[in-house]
């Protein structure tokens, strides 16, 4: 008996409690995600502003570097070897100087190359012989345009530079005595650290996408590891990068088991149009997670209710079970021939039933209830 009472009441409490928890959690999650899409749109605008501001600072730093006397000395050197050595020394120092002056980067530039007027590398940082003579003017239209544009014009773009991957670059002509002597190419790798830095500034996750032939390449991503990059790359290939970069494109996708609202935008750069873009992501999974805290009181109330029901039903079962067993034993004795036996159970709720049972037995057996070995109590 007691187990029937317990199971029935516990199931009722569980059903009502779980239903209440699901409804509260669902409603809370719905309210929490209402602002996700608008916040992604706001963060996209903020990332655009961040890129514009940082790009202006980057361009100004590179343009200022072209007026450095040490750069003029590179072109004044009397031999190719001397020019290469002077270019290496200048590039090493300038990589640190420009990096220190740009808070978003916070590290030396990965590429600083001094160029001839036709776009060939005189020398660069990292290794004095590295890329010497390489014609980057032919490889990258942005370099050619910077060297052919009106004096003082700095071009900003995104280029894939060998094993270093995609770089954000600025190219400026070098003018000495009103004559174009060459150019200065400065680049920062768009590493995961850059994506994480931008993510902190705009308040959501950020990734940078580039066109690699007919495929999409995920250069950097602020969330997850390589697995998430591969998932984002597969999603990008399905959508095709050039389609994603036609203005702002909103979508939902899954990375690392988490669902995200995403918005893709083209990166600034006349020569990287449809080839370079950013994607802003905000996790719907994370946005919904506080719903568990909101619904927690309902869950706790269910647990508390279940404990109360368990305790009360245990008490009720024990309160009724013993006198019922006594009544059953008494009836069994009478059935077995002890006609003088009467049920003697004192119980507020069952006393009246015991009295009527004893009265009925007396009438059926012809034995007066007062003559029996035991008397019933009317409770």
Residues in a beta bridge with 116: 182
State the Cα angle at 169 between 164 and 175, rounded to 5°: 130
Distance CA(105)–CA(267), nearest Å, equals 17
Residues of the chain with pLDDT under 70: 1-36, 149-152, 287-302, 306, 367-379
pLDDT at 173: 93
Q: Which of 178, 161, 169, 176 is nearest to 145 (CA)?
A: 169
First to last CA, the chain: 23
pLDDT at 379: 39
pLDDT at 140: 93
Token pair 């200065």 is found at 184
Q: State pTM to two decimals.
A: 0.68
Residue 345 burial (CB < 10 Å; 0-12/13-18/19+)? buried
Q: Which of 294, 275, 285 is nearest to 224 (CA)?
A: 285
Q: Which of 106, 62, 264, 269 is nearest to 194 (CA)?
A: 106
| Residue 162 DSSP code | G
| Residue 120 DSSP code | B
Radius of gyration of the chain (CA): 41
Residues 6+ apart with CB under 8 A from 316: 5
pLDDT at 186: 97
Name the 3-class secondary structure at 255: strand
């Amino acid at each position: 008996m007691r187990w029937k009472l317990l199971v029935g009441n516990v199931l009722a409490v569980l059903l009502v409690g779980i239903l209440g928890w699901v409804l509260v959690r669902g409603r809370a999650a719905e309210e929490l995600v209402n602002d996700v899409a608008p916040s992604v749109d706001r963060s996209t605008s903020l990332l655009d502003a961040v890129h514009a501001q940082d790009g202006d600072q980057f361009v100004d730093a590179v343009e200022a570097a072209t007026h450095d006397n040490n750069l003029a000395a590179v072109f004044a050197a009397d031999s190719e070897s001397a020019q290469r050595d002077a270019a290496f020394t200048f590039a090493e120092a300038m990589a640190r100087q420009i990096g220190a002056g740009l808070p978003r980067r916070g590290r030396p530039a990965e590429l600083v190359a001094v160029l001839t007027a036709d776009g060939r590398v005189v020398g660069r940082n990292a290794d004095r012989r590295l890329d010497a003579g390489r014609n980057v003017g032919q490889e990258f239209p942005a370099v050619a345009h910077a060297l052919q544009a009106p004096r003082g014009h700095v071009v900003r773009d995104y280029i894939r530079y060998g094993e270093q991957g995609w770089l954000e670059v600025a190219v400026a002509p070098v003018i000495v005595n009103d004559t174009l002597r060459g150019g200065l190419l400065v680049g920062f790798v768009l590493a995961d650290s850059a994506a994480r830095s931008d993510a902190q500034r705009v308040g959501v996750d950020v990734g940078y996408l580039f066109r690699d032939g007919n495929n999409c390449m995920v250069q950097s991503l602020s969330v997850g590891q390589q697995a998430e990059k591969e998932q984002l790359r597969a999603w990008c290939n399905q959508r095709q990068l050039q389609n994603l970069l036609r203005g702002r494109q909103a979508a939902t996708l899954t990375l690392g088991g988490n669902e995200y609202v995403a918005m893709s935008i083209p990166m600034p750069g006349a020569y990287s149009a449809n080839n370079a873009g950013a994607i802003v992501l905000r996790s719907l999974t994370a946005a919904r997670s506080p719903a568990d805290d909101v619904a927690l009181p309902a869950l706790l109330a269910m647990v508390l209710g279940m404990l109360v029901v368990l305790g009360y039903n245990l008490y009720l079962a024990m309160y009724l079970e013993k006198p019922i067993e006594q009544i059953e034993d008494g009836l069994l004795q009478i059935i077995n021939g002890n006609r003088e036996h009467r049920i003697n159970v004192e119980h507020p709720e069952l006393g009246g039933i015991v009295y009527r049972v004893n009265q009925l037995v007396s009438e059926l057996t012809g034995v007066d209830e007062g003559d029996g070995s035991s008397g019933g109590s009317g409770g």
